[in-house]
Structure 1
Amino acid sequence: MVTDAESGVGAGQSTPGHAATLVVAARERVAEDVVSLTLARPDGGRLPNWTPGSHIDLVLPEGATRQYSLCGDRWDAHTYRIAVLREPAGRGGSAYVHDRLRPGDRVGVGGPRNHFPLVPSEKYFFIAGGIGITPLLPMVHQAELLGADWQLLYGGRTRASMAFRQELTDAYGERVHVVPQDELGLPDLAALLGTPRPGTKVYCCGPAPLLAAVEAACAAWPPYALRFERFTAAAQTGPVRETPFEVELRRTGHTVTVTPEVSVLEAVRRAGADVLSSCEQGTCGTCLTPVLEGQPDHRDSVLTDQQRRANDCMFVCVSRSCGDRLVLDL
């Protein structure tokens, strides 16, 4: 998951490398090829708080780590809910969840962390495509709780493929606009978004074509009015430097040389640093690492321009160094 949101990266995130053990308390089919999991502590104890837009790292028994948005009741202190779409062309994580995870099974969970926060606004226009409804679902609940003016445009291939569709329409009626593509075609985003709406924030999550269409339709909107969460990495130019650089791990005192053919993540792991990671494409936000000295060459699809200028953190799976040396809090 990736965001262009103006967010406070690092809020509520777990220590790198740490994952708690939770149990699958319940499992439910919520749409065609989508199952939801309810997770809880084995002892029934309280879980860390979270805010709308948060996701967790699900560490599967075979070692794979995947990110899923929290889409349950944020005021329920004892359970997390996620929803997982089966991805036939994926790397196997969704297939494991669908085919093998059952109530009573235990999984590792890192986080929660939030790179896609719901910022205060008078009005919201939420746009979801398919499984992109998951981070927006608690945002809708929060906007309603705060008394904000909001509406949701929810598109999918078919009604049967759209998770939580009935839950939303039952609760909010005509404020939820359901657009199954096989019945109604694609929504007219240019007509919906071509004219900026004062005081409105647009939140969008879904496949890349939807995000591109929304971005184009919102070209005339003011900066930061549009906030994305992406599933795939944005295109990147070449790195700032093609030569080796040094990375000091301040906590351990080790210094490693990062050559062009290896990532910072690979290099620091070889030196013994325990850094939790998943996508290794700069999209999920899992491997966020504090920077104590030096200037990173940011190559992720998560940080905002403001956060990049701060130079106080980096995603070590893809980002590199602009200079000869970086010092990381590892």
Structure 2
Amino acid sequence: MPRVRELEVFRVVLPYGRRPESLMVRLTDYGGMTGWGEVVDPDAKTWAAMEEGLSRALIGVDWEHPDELGVVPGGSASDMACWDLWARMRGVPLAHALGGNRTYLTATVRIAAERDLDSLVARVNRHVCAGYTHVTLDVHPGWDIEPLRAVRQAYPALGIGVDAHGAYTDVGALEALDGYTLSAIERPFTGPAGFADHADLQERVAAPVLLEVPSVAGLCEAIAAGAGRALLLRPAAMGSLREVRQAHDHAVAAGWEISCAGGQGGGLARAATVAAASLPGCGLPCDVAEPPRSAQIVTPPVGASGGVVAVPLTQPGLGHNVDESRVRRLAKESYAA
């Protein structure tokens, strides 16, 4: 039975890009076993909530399974640390603890809009040569049909999805993309657009409309509305891995496909994404291409090799070792209880 003896929380500034922040949680039980969790770009209130209530919720509390703890201050980071600790104590990989059965995942790589078509095709070529069999192209009005046509003509057998980042208001403009054998049309509408627009688009196109829905209740509404046929599942955006499994089960029961994606962070959140993506319904290519390997605080780093992501099954828990000394060097703030 897990019983947390002490905990530490670190506010870490990561050394890449715009220097994103992560909150990392380290739990230690009475036997010296540790579990880690991470939330990327946390809400401003998360740190205060953890300082105020995390030790009261976890230290000295007996529990048999992470699901028993309910909502824990710190959300997905605290929940992830509990799952990591629980799985390590039992000597099982997190992927198996969640019910996953995959040993490897097909990865996609996201391709941002380029300055011209030649640059776009050259960039896609680099990833194809590196072993990727699927790419996700960013599109927006004015940059959609021509780049998609150029990539499809250059690589007739390549798996291609498009991510609209909510840039469209016209269903017809997106319908025109469907002739290029897409694996998914991701996040077509945001703002005032509701599930009715998504349902209208899904009726018109053969490709599954891929929705990012950050709650189980929202997913159930989307399914009832016929708003798509695929779920973009971000474990870090949900409060717990229990909710991740529930969302997976609802999507599978509705016949929806699933693609898993994770926050950038230092590698811990990505490791949880890989574990979730090993669930049987997660058949669409997953997105774990970032962060840079050199910026991660876990070994081995989380990422794709030859377009494939190995699910770590030889070590318990998240399946990666944490460089604690690096976490402490990168932390701009921390507290212990």
TM-score, normalised by the number of residues in structure 2: 0.28
Q: Which has the higher contact order (CA 8 A, sep 6+)?
A: 2
Bigger strand share: 1
TM-score, normalised by the number of residues in structure 1: 0.29
Bigger helix share: 2
